[in-house]
Amino acid sequence: MKTDLAAATHKQSDGRSWTKILAQYREPNPVRSTAEIAVTALPFIALWALAAVAVVHGQWWGLLLTIPAAGFLVRLFILQHDCGHGTLFSRRGLNDWTGRVIGVFTLTPYDYWRRTHAVHHASAGNLDKRGIGDVSTLTVREYRALPWWGRLRYRLYRHPLVMFGLGPAWLFVCQYRLPFGLMRAGVQPWTSTIATNLGIALPVAGLIWLIGIGPFLMVQVPITLMAATAGVWLFYVQHQFEETHWAEGEDWQFQHAALHGSSHYDLPWLLRWFSGNIGIHHVHHLSAKVPFYRLPEVLRDHPDLRDIGRLTIMESLRCVKLVLWDESGKRLVSFREAQAAG
């Protein structure tokens, strides 16, 4: 009992000490934030327009421009994400309206998403509070207790073609059109989704009238699908890695879960830029008020954080097979490993 209490106390103090340290990085720079919006939104719009003009004139090379455009769309989502945490600007109103406008580009209703994402941050790694804003994860025991159709449904959900193919398309194109999960949570989620839908419909209608539905779909669809898949992949590997942390009851501590339940996805410089440093996810979960462009400062000043939950691209590919939480081994395992331990 004393050993367990000492371990819990150490976990709590370790996370809290980092939280205090990270408080000094919370102040956003409004000039830098504005510049980040400009260098992300303007190239995205330019690439989209150039691709559309090329396609309209039968120049199919223009479709190649959808690849970098998708990268800039991912980065726009990161800007919206920071607005949701109140970190892009000091004023909440400016964050919120910036996020709502960006939400039209990302097809994501800002206020609805911000609410579900806040739940994710408040409960990440907590086995007692799964279900909103996260990747559904069962324990080995829960999976074994399911009937055969329940196991089949979970296997289909966790299949890579669904998780990183159909899933992202469904999430951004269909699911975000209604406030699923918050259908009875008041008027705000409905207002957010409906206003965003209208904000999307008006420019879409104008663009289809201007260039035709064919060219519009040939440009917009690949951009949306590539960006959605990249976004879901990033979110997945930030929490679904072997040495992640899940706990329940009093064993769950916010700071410890943030630090050890989120990965440091160590990406090459260009991918770090397009993903807005979101790979430094353990720091982000410890202190969500740190602006995305200040996260590298944290690793520079505190190198002890670099190796906590560190994943390379090659290592992250192995995370796809990790689908169940092994409560006895305290790690994520594959279906095959769970069956072998049977």
Least confident among 26-30, 219-223, 250-254: 250-254
Q: Does the pLDDT of residue 9 top 70, yes or no? A: no
The average pLDDT across 189-194 equals 92
The average pLDDT across 86-105 equals 97
Give pLDDT, residue 277. 97
Count of residues making up the chain: 342
The average pLDDT across 87-101 equals 97
Give pLDDT, residue 132. 81
Work out the pLDDT band at 15, boundaries 50, 70, 90.
Answer: low
Give pLDDT, residue 7. 45
- Note whether 161 and 232 are within 8 A (CB): no
Work out the pLDDT band at 131, boundaries 50, 70, 90.
Answer: confident
Give pLDDT, residue 250. 87
Q: Cα-atom radius of gyration of the chain, to the nearest Å?
A: 21
Predicted TM-score of the model (pTM): 0.92
What Cα–Cα distance (Å) separates residue 130 from each residue in 120, 121, 136, 172, 253?
Answer: 8, 11, 7, 21, 15
Q: Does the pLDDT of residue 96 top 70, yes or no? A: yes
Please, where are the H alpha helices in the chain?
2-22, 30-56, 66-84, 92-106, 110-123, 140-145, 148-158, 160-161, 167-169, 187-211, 213-237, 254-260, 269-274, 281-286, 295-301, 313-317, 335-341
Please name which of 236, 296, 304, 301 lies closest in space to residue 272, comparing C-alpha atoms. Answer: 296
Q: Does the pLDDT of residue 179 top 90, yes or no? A: no
Strand partners, 104: none
CA angle centred on 66, ends 63 and 69, rounded to 5°: 155
Q: Does the pLDDT of residue 6 top 50, yes or no? A: no
Q: Does the pLDDT of residue 2 top 60, yes or no? A: no
93-123 burial: b if 16+ Cβ within 10 Å, else e? eebbebbbebbbbbbbbbbbbbbbbebbbeb
pLDDT digits (tens, 9 = 90+) for 273-324: 999 999 999 999 999 999 999 999 999 999 999 999 999 999 999 999 999 9
What is the rounded distance in angstroms from the CA atom of residue 341 to the CA atom of residue 82? 42
- Note whether 196 and 109 are within 8 A (CB): yes
Q: How many CA atoms lie within 13 A of 52 on its CB side?
A: 20
Give pLDDT, residue 204. 97
Q: Does the pLDDT of residue 12 top 50, yes or no? A: no
The average pLDDT across 208-226 equals 97
DSSP string, 254-267: HHHHHHHSS-EE--
Least confident among 43-47, 186-190, 304-308: 186-190
Q: Does the pLDDT of residue 14 top 90, yes or no? A: no
Average pLDDT of every residue of the chain: 92
What strand order describes the sheet that includes 331-333?
138-139, 324-326, 331-333
Give pLDDT, residue 265. 97
Side chain identity at residue 166, one-letter code? L
Please name which of 71, 36, 51, 114 lies closest in space to residue 230, comparing C-alpha atoms. Answer: 71
User: What angle, 0 to 180 degrees and rounded to 10, lies between the N-to-C axes of helices 187-211 and 30-56?
Assistant: 40
